[in-house]
Each structure stands twice: as structure tokens, then as C-alpha cells.
Structure 1
Amino acid sequence: MEVSYSWLKEFIDLPESPEEVGKLLTGTGLEVEGIEKIDMIPGGLAGVVIGEVLTCIKHPEADKLSLTTVDVGQPEPLSIVCGAPNVAAGQKVVVALVGATLHPSSGDPIQLKKTKIRGAVSEGMLCAEDELGLGTSHAGILVLDTTLANGTPAAVYFNLEADYQIAIGLTPNRIDAASHFGTARDLKAVLNRPLRMPSVDTFAVNDNSKVVAVRIEDQAACPRFSGLTISGLQVGESPDWLKKRLLSIGLKPINNIVDITNFVCYDLGQPLHAYDAAKIAGDLVVVKTLPEGTPFVTLDGVERKLLATDLMVCDAEKPMCIAGVFGGLHSGVSAETTGIFLEAAYFSAASVRKTAQHHGLKTDASFRFERGTDPNMPVYALKRAALLIQEVAGGNVSSELIDIYPDPIQPFRVPVLYKHIDRLIGIAIDHTEIHRILEALDITAEETSETGFVAIVPPYRVDVTREADVIEEILRIYGLDNVPLSVNLSADSLSEFPKTDPDQWQGRVGQLLAANGFYEILTLSLTRPAYNDAIRSTLLGADVTLLNPLSDELSVMRQSLLFSSLETLVYNINRRQKDLKTFEFGKVYHKVTGEDGKSTYKERMRLSLAMTGQQHAESWLEKNQQLVYHDLASTVQRVLSLFRVKSFETQAADTTLFQYGLTYFVNKKPIVSLGLVQPKLAKLVDLKQDVFYADFDWQALLKLSSTKARYQEVPRFPEVRRDLSLVLDKQVNFEQISRLAQQTERKILRAVNVFDTYEGQNLGQDKKAYSVSFTLQDEAQTLTDTAIEKTMNRLMAAFEKELGAVIRK
């Protein structure tokens, strides 16, 4: 949210600089994210002053030029050559000094230099309107009627004092501060200074020539509705002061009526809406809902189908506006409008929020209504706007001010104990100061006693409904910096650090993967229901579905990182980046329903790896190759090695996810699954390349990190390798061979590896040959041929008996 420094000063005296005001606001919880100087015109007329022409004679070398001397408040007059036909001695003029940069209405900026024109020295420039960027006229130099001293900055004469735009990171709970008045309220409390409210005492009803009746049919969605008519006005361009105010906060002026409604919205925080009174059928306004699917064309020209719960402002025949959200195309103010019905209302936050989200409409009005506006502001804002409209557009108030408010919204009553204030803040604050702060925040106290009081909180503070909220209000105005740290620190006052730091491990694994050519990605947790449905058999529970999704494409929480990775890959592949390695740390979500019918929501942290395309960038040095399964497997084992995982069991991965692959188990718990992604899953995101994917259970992996490190002496005795060729049935996989070998020889067998496979007719039908190496090592002595032969014989016997192998040495 942006506020104007000079606009704030209309509500409260602020001798403090914009930077000092920024620090004060940040201290109250309205965090200032930046302060930007705003010039009303480019350059702010820096280096341009008021001067007086002392002498003026014709240039001897040019009929259309004049030689002038000009007093600009310096010890000596300046010599300036001027080409304007209207220059004359005795005039007050606008002078651009040497070094000034002018920003003309058209063309590039001009920096003035001391120069010679037809042999005469010129030490500045007498300026026309367009040369200063103040207008388009170039008929002659500006001649001023002023008593300002020579040398006075021209910005002072033209009232072009620089403003400052203060950007506030407004949190959702502080909608009360979403205006200059609301921001000034916090400054009032922290500075202990009074506010100045614009007077509406001159508001008066001129006649009753245009009465519009109002009827509210949905009181719950519209607790308060106020309005009046103004007739005989003229729609046109806004005056400069109004344009400057809107431009100072980044709003584009439209016309005087719309600009006033926008001005009051940012001035007081009360959204307003103006209807062309001539377009209100039957001189009747009805606030109600319409049947499901009713078409309505909004101001942006889009036809929208209404929900049965959408609150609408209608006339006797048709809808005119989505209440609190967006106006209609055929009821707004135009250049031909001569009378308006001006609305100020208080709408239910829940009603506006649901409507705005459904239609995807985010407006200044909905931003405020869906968070909670001040129900006591509509009448005052309406009078303020009516007076301003009469000032800038003329017209008469042509009806009584209508205010339908049958059930006034009451303040919040919050019991507060002094001991709880002291406990939560950490120090004892004088009770007088507590009540001063609360009164400055419009919070009064009733039922005051020695132990506490009941805080009466105005309804515009929708975020202050509990005792802790009231205490927070006291603290933010008292100042966090004014609460001293305890002199004595004990173990109880220090946070307990976890034995395993997830962030540290995430950084270490991320560095490892980045060093191996992987790029980290960060994706949305929201996903398409079709993705979860495609892998339903592998999921742990039901989907977590959003109640108010932004779209059908983002209506459930993801249960796997797979599709997030695939969507990232296809996005890059479509941009001709086909060789990719990515990793992501992210959460997955599911819902479990117990026997009692109650649902529990679960989330788990996962780590995913994805690889596709070529192994490395194209080069003349070597022929490129496609990534294969073992490229991913080696990376997975590097990650496991970082956690000192040396031994694990494997089994075939779930074929729902993978065309082929393995799942690694440590202590009989699955740690990671990896393999080639099923083509039908890749097809869901229109991905046509092979993708190798790994999915780590990050929380299970972190538990392994708590295991104490174990060290062993470097082996003193050599290892021995022996190879076997095994002819087996095709359905026997290498995992079965490796597991059987480990079970048969636990003492000296260190590693089992397959280095070649063969299939052919000479082996027999449904047969396959594996060439397997076995690494043997005894840590206590050098292996003898006898010991090696006994081990190999036991292994061959086991393969023959358990797997039906035919041994080919």
C-alpha cells in the first residue's frame, strides 16, 4: 500500500522527515518497505528560479533575438539571450540557470550550459510553459504576477513542492490502516498528537428533486447502506490538486466524479460507488441476490455468470453492480452524466470475499470490504464526498441522505488483566500509560479495577478481539525497542536446538546436487486433481481439497512432487532446453479419515530428483549419450553416502510410477524410489522425453543423520575378485542374485556387481545370462586360494539350488 507524505500531513502535524515517519510507522507494525521522492513534474524544476528582466535590447546580429540582463538574486545579473517576442524590461520571469535540466512537454530532457549565441554570451534561459513541462504553450515566455523575491525557486511559485510516496507492507489483519486517515491514527498514538478531521459541517440537502428509494433484502450481507443523489453536476477533468493527490500514490486520474470516489477511498478507507442517476430504473435501488447463472456485464466489458450468493445492487429492472466488488458497464458515470446516486455501504466481509474469489476480481473496494471496513464511516464519508463533488463538479444535493442501519454493529468487549500485560510484554508498564495508549487508539476502558479492565474496541479494529490482541496494541505503540533485555540469561530462556538441523542438511544436500549439475526448483503445492488420480494406488490417503480454489487446475494439494518436476521439465523443453537435471525440497499433503469419521491432515517433506536428455552439453571432444538409469542411481547413492548410508536392501519399484526402477530400504523402511517414469504419466503434462526420477522420504533420511559416525581402519590386506556367468530364467533379477549372495557369505563378501548381460537363442527360451563379479576381502589376513574356492563353491551351490542357475565359468 502506498501513502503520500504530504497527504498524511493534512491529518496530523508532521515536522518529522519522511524517513523519520517511516521509522515510526515500522515501529508500530506498519512496515515501511521503501520511500520514493515524487516530483509533480519531471525534475521538479530543480535549478529553475524566479527572475526579473532588468534590461532588454535587440541583438545586433539577429532581428528575432533580444539581449537581456536578469536579476536572479545573485550578486551580479545574468546575461541571457532570448528569442521570445514578448520579453520586456521589468517583467517577472522564470529562469533556468546553467546546470539545470529541463523536461519539456515533448522531446528529450535539456541540460543548460553557458553558451554563445551569435557572439553574445547567454548564462541561462527564459522559459516558456512547454519548456518547463507545465503545459503545451510556446507562444512566449511565462510572465508572472508575483511579489516573490528574485531567486525564489520556481517550484515554490507553482506549488510544486516534492512529495514522498511511502510504501507500506500492509499485513491482512491491519485493514484499518489502509488509508491516510488510518495510517495517521497510528502516528497520532505513537506521537501523542491530535488528528485533524476534514469538516463536513457545511453539508446540506439543497432540494428533493431526485429521490431514489433504497431497499435491502439481504441484511446479513449488507448490514448498512447509505446514499444520496447529486443533480446538475458536470463531469470533466479533475482539478490539479486532485490529480496530484491520486498521482502521488500511483493512481491514474479518470474524471472528477470517479476521482473523488477514489480520493475518499484512500483518504478515509471507505469505498464509494457512483451510479448515473438517469440510468436507475424506477428510481429504486435494491440490494439483493439473483438467481444462479444470471449474466452480468462488468465495467471491464466481461460478461460474468453470477452465483446465487453474489450480493448485487440492482434497480427496479436490472443489476447495476456486484456489491463491494465491481460496477456494471451500463450504470456507471460517463461524460454525459448530469446526476449521480452516490453509495457508501458496509458489506459483509465473508460475502465480498467469496464473490471476489469466485469471479477473480481484485479491486480497491473488494480489498477493503473482504477484510472488514469501518461500519461507522459510511455517512461521514458520504458527506465528505458530496462536498468535494460539489466543489469540483458543481451540482446540488437533491435528496435526503438515506442511511439504512437497523442493527448497529457493536464494539468488541475484551476483558484484560494487568498481570497478563506485564507477563506478555516482559515489563510492568504504568497503568496511566497503558490507558493513554489505548485511548489514543480509540479503545476505551470500562469496569476498571486494581487488577484489570474491560477494553471497548471499535468495530473497525477487526483484528483486536482477544486479550492478547489488546496487549499487542499496547506493545506496538509503547515500542518494542523500549522493552529491555533481561540482564540474566538462563538455560530456560534459550531455545533448545534440535540434534538434527533440517536446514543445515538441506543446504548440504543442495550443494552436493548443485555440484553434480542439478538445478534447484521451487513449485506450487497446489495441483490438478487428475495428477493425484493418476497415481492413486501409491498414495497414503485422500486428497486435501481447497474450499475456494483459484481455479480447477489448482484445486487440490499435491501428494507427490513428481508432476511438479515434470511440469518444470516440459516448460523448459518447450523453450529448447532439453538437457535437464533438477531437484526440489517440498511438502506433500494427504488426509486420513479415522473410524470415528474425523479427518486428520498430514504433511511430509520430500526430496525429488529428475533427469532428462543428454548426459552433457554437445562437444566435438566426445560423442554425447542419453542419460540412463545408472546416472540417476549414482547420484542417489552420493546422497545416501552423505548420510553415511553404506548398506541397504532393494526391491523393484512400484510400476504405477516407474516403467522400471528400484526402491531402497534402510532398516526395512523405504528411503528412496527411483527409475524411469511411466510414459503415460509423462504424457499427462505433454512430455515426450524419457525422464528418470527419484523420490526421497526426506524425514526418514534425516533420522539416519542422527546415527553416530563410525570409522574403520584402512584395510591392510588386498581384496580379490572372482567372476561367474549365470544362466537363469528371465524373471530372475539381479537383486535376487545379490541378496542370495549376501545371505550365503556374510564374512568376506564385500560387493556384488553385474558387468554384462546376454540374451540369445542358444541359451534357450526365456533364459538370460548374467556376468557377475564378486569382491572378497578378509580384514584379518590375506585370502588363500583354498578359502576363496570354498566361498565360490558355496555361492555356486546356492545359485543352483535357489535360483536354478546354470554356471558357466
Structure 2
Amino acid sequence: MRVPYNWLKEYVDLSGISPPELADRLVMTGTAVESVQTLKPSFQQVIVGEIKEMVRHPRADKLWICQVSLGHRPATIVCGATNIKVGDKVPVARPGAILQGAVLEAREIREVKSQGMLCSEAELGLGEDQSGILILDPSCQVGLPLDEALGLRDTVLELEITPNRPDCLGLIGIAREVAAIFGRPLTVPSVHVEEGELPASHWIRISIADSDLCLRYSGRLLQGVEVKPSPLWMQVRLGAVGLRPINNVVDVTNYVMWETSQPLHAFDYGKIENQQIIVRRAREGEKIVTLDGVERYLESEMLVIADDHNPVALAGVMGGVETEVSENTSVTLLESANFDPVSILRTSQKLGLRSEASNRFEKGLDPNQSLYALDRAAMLMREVAGGTILKGAVDIYPRRLAPWRLQLRPKRVIQILGCPISKKEIKAILGSLELEVSGEEPLEVTVPTFRRDLEREIDLIEEVARLYGYDKFPSTLPASSGRVGELSWEQKRINLVREVMIGCGLWETINYSFTDHKSMDKAGLKVADPRRHSVAIANPIIEDFSILKTTLLLGLLQVIEKNCRVDKENVFIFELAKTYHPRDGQDLPHEPRALAAAITGLWFGRFWSEPVRKVDFYDLKGIVEELARALDLQEPQWLPTSYDPFYEGKCAWVEIGGERVGIAGQIHPLVIKRYEIPNEVFAFELDLDRILALPTCQKEFRGIPRYPSITVDLALIVDEEVNYLQVRDVIQTGGGKGLKDVTLFDVYRGRQIPEGKKSLAFSLTFQEEDRTLRDEEVQEKVDRIVQELNRELGAELRSR
């Protein structure tokens, strides 16, 4: 919300209050100020002059020699414009002035020295009209700098208005806040509509077919309007708030909207069929071409303003081209209405169409302000466009909204705020916000309808607190029970998970909880994949956020894709977040926490002292095993499987303590190609809730061994189907208590190994705690292990 300082001064006295001070006080009372900008025109040293005399140039029939008063002395200026006359006040650029970046110099025109230049709107950068000299308002003071006379030097405060304060989306609402903050009177423009004799109700019929979506609809008719550019003062103010001037009729509606926060719309009355307005739901498949030139197909839940046959506007969003005001318009229908905010929000989102009007309507406006805004606009339009206002407004208001009453206990205010605020101060603060206060204990507070955010006693206490001043509250320490707070066991475990992932060299990412089905297609999730059974968002912010995510892998792949686009190909990331899965017969989804990681590129880049190595599955496997060790869990087991979006034969289920907790592997090359990632990607996704629920292993503490160990290498030939875990388990059982460590150090398939077989080489470490082992004892253990391997797995010793 852009608030020009000079415009705001019309509603509240700001003398002695600088823009920076105003910004600080607004911030301290709960209105965020995003920026304070200084506006100044592109021209310099242009002043207001008055034409005192005009004579024809003796050597040029189309030129005039003008004597122009500048307040202190006259100047002779040669001009060829035809729209000026004696007595006009005009902008004068003297030698040395800057126009459009160039310095103006005195020059002779047909042997007459011109001491300056009369300026057009285009030459000053104030508009596009260059057909003639800009004629200023007769009230402008001669000799005054033009930027000061036109109010072009200004300061604009950019405010962030919270959704619960739509009244502050108008300058009058902001002025009400400022008046309350500084204890100064609020001046609301008075409205006096000079009406003609013809009654408007004879010329236009208005009806509301769907009153659940339209609380109020009012209209006024103006005959004989002349559509032309707005006066310069209005164009300047609209430009200061970021609106482009269009014509005097449209500009008035925008001006009043910025002033009151109430959107308005002007129709070309002659284009409304049968002089009838119906506020109704759209018919399925109905269409309209909006003012932006786009044809839009409507749904039955969208509200439209229609004439006897077709929609002429999208209610609360945008008008239609068919009834747009043009230069040929002579009769204008002004609309001011109040629509259901949820309906406007849904229509705007479904059509992807946002406007200043929809931004206001979707937050909930006061229906009791709409008629004031309509009369204010009619009065201004008559002033700038001429014409006659027909008698009476056609006002349809079936369910009138009345002010409501709340009770406020002064003792409760003191109790909540912890500050001794007197009852007199409370009444004064609430009264400054136009809340009527009566009674003593409790206070009876009547809330005006423009403050729909005030619903409970605590809301009134908040108003007292922010206007009293947060800086006035004393600094106190909170009461304490003496107990030291600490994290729960689960919070500590989650923090430990993050520490392990970061310690393994991964960066944490935080992605949106939303995705869409196109992202699932891109990742290769099949139609029957249970992860495609998702929770749909009723009103998605954008199309790409239409469902809640069921897997974290999609977000990680998108992060890698974005990094690769900017030549960051070595990516090591993880995410710890919830996933969302619908539950049959229940409104709320199942929300398990998941942990996912993805790595790609070179293992921590290139270093002169280290060989260049790409990441592989074993880097990923090591991260999972390190996580299990840190959480005191059993060693993870890896069971080969096939699962999207992983490469078949290069992914595995992760099991811990006999329970399946996740999936890990290499992302399929076709998926990587769709994401335009140049290197292989390895990823895992684990069910964190299930991992945190697993029993931890009991830690055993032993002293430093006093006796030496003996290490024996054992090379075995086994069937291809036999895996490492099976062999290791048999070795540990056969080795007994004295076997301290089993390490697989080689896997071989080749000429000396029969087809369908493989060689596994283990290093076995034996050690006793109370004596030195003899070679004979170790050999006996090894022989027993070999026998068990042969009996259980058909393994044989490798001889060569």
C-alpha cells in the first residue's frame, strides 16, 4: 500500500511530523513500513508563469512573442502553441533549466531572443500530450517552482497491510490510524451530491439474484459526461501510488478506491442491454472478455455482474470489454458493491487474475462504506467530467450489517499488559479509533463495521496496547518456577540426525510442502504408485502447488536441477520434513516425518592432494550406516529391490533390526535426463518416525586388551546368490566368543572362479581377554568355521 505524504495531509494534520518520524510511529503501532521513498520530477528549475501579453512574431505568422510574468520580472518567450491566451498560467523553463536530461539555453528565433520556453505535458515528463502548452490551474502562485505548485515533490511510504485490516487499504483508514497515534483530528471529505430532477431508478434496474455472495450493490447514473484526460493534480496523485492515468471517468474510480479502500467500476450505460443489472452466479461455460483483452471461461461458483443477457463484469475482480468506458461514452453507470470475500478469492485464483479490487474485496470490506464511496466518486466525476447526476442512488442492501458491542474489563487490560493504564486512558485510546465507549466496569464498547477484526475482548486489549505504545511498557523478567527447561528425548534425537547429516558434508534444504502431478510424472512415478495417492489442495496458490507432497525426493531433485543450471554440479543435500498421505474416512492425513538425502558430482570437488572421484552408492551407504551408529541402532541391512525413481538393480530396501525403514539407490538415468542433471545421482529416503521408534543397542564398555590378537585371512567360493550377510553370520556363530572382528576385504569373479560362483575374502581377528591364544586353537576355530560354511552355504575354500 503506497501512501503519499502530501495526499495523506488532506485527511490529518501532519505539521511538525516528518515522514521518517511518521514511519517510526506506524511501525511501533503495528503497521509495517517497508520503505520510505522520495519522489521528485525529472525536470529542474521550471517555475509558474502568467502570460501578460501576446503579439505575432514579425517574421513568422505561426509564432507568438509572449510577455510572461515570473513574479519578479517579465520574460520574453517565443512560442508556437495555439492553445494559450493572455491570463493563462503556464510552466516556464528559463535558461539553465533541465528538461529530459538536457540543459536549456537562451536562443534567438527569427531575430527575437527567447528567454526561455513554455512547456508541454510531454516535455515535462508528466504525460504523453505534446499537442500544446500545459495550462495550469488559475490558483497556482506565479513564480513558485512548478514541482512545488503541482505537489510533485513528495515522500511515499510503502506499507505492509495485514489481511485483517482492509480498512487500511485506503488513505482515510491510514489517516484514522495516524490521527489516533498523534492525537489529532481526522478530516473525512464531506460529500454533497448535486442531483438532477430525473430519478435514476427509472433508468436502471438492479437486482441481486445470489445474495449469499453479494451483500450490497449500489449504482448512480451520470448523464452528459465528457470522457477526457483527468486534471493534472489527479494524474499526479495516481502516479504517486503507482496507478497509470487512463481517463477522467476511470481515474475517479481509482482515486476514490485509493482514498476509501472501496473499489468502484464505471460502465458505459449505453452498452447495457435492457438497462438492467443482475448480480448472479455465472452459468457453466459462460465466457467474458475482461479489460485486459483475455477471453475467460467461467464456472458456476463465480459471481458476475450481468445485463439482461450476458456478463458485463467479473464481480470484484475486473470489468468486461463490452461495457468499457470510451471517448464516445456520454452516460455512465457507477457501481459500488460489497461481495463475499471467499468467492472473490476463489474466482481470482482459479482465473489467475489479480487486481487492486480483488485484493481488497477478498479481505472483507465494510458494506456500510460503499454508498459513501459511490457518492464521493459521483461528486468528483461531475467535477472533472461534467454532466448531471440523476436523482437518487439505486441501493440494494438486503441484510444490513450493524455495529456490535463488546465488553472490556479495565482490570483485565492491566492484568494482560502488566502496566497500570488508567480507565481514562483506555477510553481515550478506544475513542480515538472511533469506537464508542460507555459504562464503567466493564466498559461497553460499540465496534464500527469497518473494524471487522475486533471480535473479542482480547482484540480490544491489543488496540489499547499498540496505541498506548509498546515502548512505554516496563522491562520485567518473566516469572520462573525454578526448573531448567530442556529438549525432549525426541527433539535431541532429531537434532542428532541433523548433526550427523551435516557432519557427513550435506547441506540441509527446506522445500515447499506442495507439489503437483507433473512433478511426479517427471520423476517417473507410475500411475499405480501409492505415492501418487495424495491430498489435494482445495485452493492452491498456484497450479504447481496443487497437492501435498508424499515423498521428499521430488524436492531434492528440483534443488539439484536448479544448482546444475548455475554450474553447481557437486551437490550434497538432505531434507528433514513431513510427508502427507490421505487416510480413508478421515479428514486429516497421516503425516510421518521423513529424512531424505541426495548426492551427485565429485566427492567434495577437486583437491591437488586427492584423486578425483565421483560419488557412488557406497558413499550413500556410509551416510546411512553412520546415522545408525550415531543413534545406537543395529547395523543396517541392504536388500536389493526395484522401486521408482531408482535404477533397477541399483537400489535396495534399508532394514534395521528386522524392520524396513526406507529405500536407497541410484536415481534412474531417464529421470536424471528429464531434470537435465549431468552426473549420476544417489539418494535415499527413510521413515524417520519409524527409525526413532527403534530400540537402541546396549553399549558395552571393555578395558584395553592386555593380550595380542591373531588375524587370519579366509578366501571362500560361494554361489552367486549367497550374500555377504549370510556368510558373516555363519562365521560369527562358528568363531564363538574369541572372534572379535570379521571384515570383507575382497570380492572376485573371474577366470579361476567357476561360472555362477564368486570369491569372498574375509579377515578374521581372534583375541582372548585372559590369555594369549595359541596358533593351534585359532586353527581349530577356523576349521570349525569352514565346516559350518560348507554345511550351511555350500562354501568351499579357495585354493588359488
The TM-score with structure 2 as length reference comes to: 0.81
Are the equivalent residues in 2 in contact too, given 1:32–1:169 (CA < 8 A)? yes
Q: Alignment partner for residue 104 of structure 1, among 99, 104, 107? A: 99
Residues 146, 420 of structure 1: CA spacing in aligned structure 2 closer, same or farther, 3 A cutoff? closer
Are the equivalent residues in 2 in contact too, given 1:644–1:709 (CA < 8 A)? no
Find the counterpart in structure 2 of residue 18 from structure 1.
19
Are the equivalent residues in 2 in contact too, given 1:298–1:329 (CA < 8 A)? yes
Are the equivalent residues in 2 in contact too, given 1:211–1:399 (CA < 8 A)? no
1:558 aligned onto 2:535: no
- Counterpart mapping for 1:796-807 below 5 A: 796-807=786-797
Q: Alignment partner for residue 422 of structure 2, among 425, 430, 434? A: 430
- 1:201 and 1:766 mapped to 2: Cα distance? 100
Residues 717, 293 of structure 1: CA spacing in aligned structure 2 closer, same or farther, 3 A cutoff? farther
How far did residue 284 of structure 1 move? 0.7
- 2:477 and 2:541 mapped to 1: Cα distance? 50
1:192 aligned onto 2:187: no
Find the counterpart in structure 1 of residue 87 from structure 2.
none
Letter in 1 for 2:723: N
Residues 493, 725 of structure 1: CA spacing in aligned structure 2 closer, same or farther, 3 A cutoff? closer
Are the equivalent residues in 1 in contact too, given 2:575–2:597 (CA < 8 A)? no
How far did residue 261 of structure 1 move? 1.0
- 2:279 and 2:344 mapped to 1: Cα distance? 13
Are the equivalent residues in 2 in contact too, given 1:755–1:773 (CA < 8 A)? yes
Residues 49, 241 of structure 1: CA spacing in aligned structure 2 closer, same or farther, 3 A cutoff? closer
Q: Return 5+ residue gaps in structure 1 as ranges.
A: 53-70, 118-124
Letter in 2 for 1:310: M
Residues 620, 386 of structure 1: CA spacing in aligned structure 2 closer, same or farther, 3 A cutoff? same
Residues 50, 256 of structure 1: CA spacing in aligned structure 2 closer, same or farther, 3 A cutoff? closer
1:3 aligned onto 2:3: yes
Q: Alignment partner for residue 337 of structure 2, among 338, 341, 345? A: 345
How far did residue 300 of structure 1 move? 1.9
Residues 364, 709 of structure 1: CA spacing in aligned structure 2 closer, same or farther, 3 A cutoff? farther
Letter in 1 for 2:14: L
Residues 713, 193 of structure 1: CA spacing in aligned structure 2 closer, same or farther, 3 A cutoff? farther
Letter in 1 for 2:638: Q
Helix, strand or coil: the match of 1:731?
coil
Find the counterpart in structure 1 of residue 195 from structure 2.
204
Q: Alignment partner for residue 782 of structure 2, among 792, 804, 807? A: 792
How far did residue 141 of structure 1 move? 15
How far did residue 138 of structure 1 move? 13
1:444 aligned onto 2:444: no
Letter in 1 for 2:412: H
1:655 aligned onto 2:645: no
Residues 591, 145 of structure 1: CA spacing in aligned structure 2 closer, same or farther, 3 A cutoff? closer
Find the counterpart in structure 2 of residue 68 from structure 1.
none
Q: Alignment partner for residue 627 of structure 1, among 601, 610, 615? A: 615
Find the counterpart in structure 1 of residue 28 from structure 2.
27
Letter in 2 for 1:525: S
Q: Alignment partner for residue 579 of structure 2, among 583, 589, 594? A: 589
Greater CA drift, 343-352 or 680-689: 680-689
How far did residue 521 of structure 1 move? 4.1
- 1:580 and 1:667 mapped to 2: Cα distance? 33
- Counterpart mapping for 1:29-108 below 5 A: 29-39=30-40, 41-42=41-42, 45=44, 103-105=98-100, 108=101
- 2:311 and 2:632 mapped to 1: Cα distance? 68
Residues 707, 212 of structure 1: CA spacing in aligned structure 2 closer, same or farther, 3 A cutoff? farther
Q: Spell out, residue by residue over 1:530-572, the C-alpha distance to the aligned partner (whole angstroms, 9 max, x if none).
A: 7679379986996322112346643211111112222334455
Q: Alignment partner for residue 238 of structure 2, among 212, 230, 246? A: 246
1:302 aligned onto 2:294: yes
Are the equivalent residues in 1 in contact too, given 2:93–2:116 (CA < 8 A)? yes
Are the equivalent residues in 2 in contact too, given 1:265–1:272 (CA < 8 A)? yes
- Counterpart mapping for 1:554-703 below 5 A: 554-571=545-562, 575=565, 577=567, 579-591=569-581, 593=583, 597-613=585-601, 626-637=614-625, 643=630, 645=632, 648-652=635-639, 655-657=642-644, 658=646, 659=648, 660-664=650-654, 673-678=663-668, 690-697=680-687
Helix, strand or coil: the match of 1:172?
coil
How far did residue 672 of structure 1 move? 5.7
Residues 737, 96 of structure 1: CA spacing in aligned structure 2 closer, same or farther, 3 A cutoff? farther
Residues 705, 668 of structure 1: CA spacing in aligned structure 2 closer, same or farther, 3 A cutoff? closer
- 1:145 and 1:712 mapped to 2: Cα distance? 101
Helix, strand or coil: the match of 2:589?
strand
Are the equivalent residues in 1 in contact too, given 2:570–2:604 (CA < 8 A)? no
Are the equivalent residues in 2 in contact too, given 1:653–1:674 (CA < 8 A)? no
Find the counterpart in structure 2 of residue 55 from structure 1.
none
Q: Return 5+ residue gaps in structure 2 as ranges.
A: 51-69, 80-89, 108-114
Q: Spell out, residue by residue over 1:694-728, the C-alpha distance to the aligned partner (whole angstroms, 9 max, x if none).
A: 22445677899999999987777776543322222
- 2:27 and 2:405 mapped to 1: Cα distance? 28
Find the counterpart in structure 2 of residue 63 from structure 1.
none
In percent, how many aligned pairs have the same letter? 30
Helix, strand or coil: the match of 1:220?
coil
Residues 646, 549 of structure 1: CA spacing in aligned structure 2 closer, same or farther, 3 A cutoff? closer
- 2:401 and 2:195 mapped to 1: Cα distance? 27
Q: Spell out, residue by residue over 1:257-299, the C-alpha distance to the aligned partner (whole angstroms, 9 max, x if none).
A: 1111111111100000111111101111111113211122222
The TM-score with structure 1 as length reference comes to: 0.80
Residues 138, 678 of structure 1: CA spacing in aligned structure 2 closer, same or farther, 3 A cutoff? closer
Helix, strand or coil: the match of 2:381?
helix
How far did residue 238 of structure 1 move? 1.8
Letter in 1 for 2:397: Y
Are the equivalent residues in 2 in contact too, given 1:85–1:140 (CA < 8 A)? no
- Counterpart mapping for 1:269-280 below 5 A: 269-280=261-272
Letter in 1 for 2:475: L
- 2:131 and 2:768 mapped to 1: Cα distance? 100
Residues 791, 205 of structure 1: CA spacing in aligned structure 2 closer, same or farther, 3 A cutoff? farther
1:358 aligned onto 2:350: yes
Residues 539, 647 of structure 1: CA spacing in aligned structure 2 closer, same or farther, 3 A cutoff? same
- 2:140 and 2:450 mapped to 1: Cα distance? 49
How far did residue 662 of structure 1 move? 4.4
Are the equivalent residues in 2 in contact too, given 1:182–1:268 (CA < 8 A)? yes
Alignment length, in residue pairs? 751
- Counterpart mapping for 1:511-522 below 5 A: 511-512=502-503, 516=505, 520-522=508-510
- Counterpart mapping for 1:141-290 below 5 A: 155-156=147-148, 158-160=149-151, 162-205=153-196, 207-208=198-199, 211-290=203-282
Residues 94, 374 of structure 1: CA spacing in aligned structure 2 closer, same or farther, 3 A cutoff? same
How far did residue 17 of structure 1 move? 1.0
Task: Give the root-mean-square deviation of aligned CA atoms.
Answer: 4.6
- 2:170 and 2:787 mapped to 1: Cα distance? 86
Residues 155, 593 of structure 1: CA spacing in aligned structure 2 closer, same or farther, 3 A cutoff? closer
Are the equivalent residues in 2 in contact too, given 1:565–1:582 (CA < 8 A)? no
Are the equivalent residues in 2 in contact too, given 1:721–1:775 (CA < 8 A)? yes
Q: Spell out, residue by residue over 1:458-477, the C-alpha distance to the aligned partner (whole angstroms, 9 max, x if none).
A: 23323222232222222222
Q: Spell out, residue by residue over 1:298-338, the C-alpha distance to the aligned partner (whole angstroms, 9 max, x if none).
A: 22222222111111101112110111111112111123222
- 1:580 and 1:234 mapped to 2: Cα distance? 66
Q: Spell out, residue by residue over 1:181-234, the C-alpha distance to the aligned partner (whole angstroms, 9 max, x if none).
A: 111222222222221011112443453488211111111111100001112112
Are the equivalent residues in 2 in contact too, given 1:231–1:398 (CA < 8 A)? yes
Are the equivalent residues in 1 in contact too, given 2:78–2:117 (CA < 8 A)? no
Letter in 2 for 1:648: E
Residues 144, 421 of structure 1: CA spacing in aligned structure 2 closer, same or farther, 3 A cutoff? closer
1:758 aligned onto 2:748: yes
How far did residue 749 of structure 1 move? 4.9
- 1:435 and 1:200 mapped to 2: Cα distance? 29
Residues 9, 789 of structure 1: CA spacing in aligned structure 2 closer, same or farther, 3 A cutoff? farther
Residues 784, 393 of structure 1: CA spacing in aligned structure 2 closer, same or farther, 3 A cutoff? farther
- 1:645 and 1:630 mapped to 2: Cα distance? 21
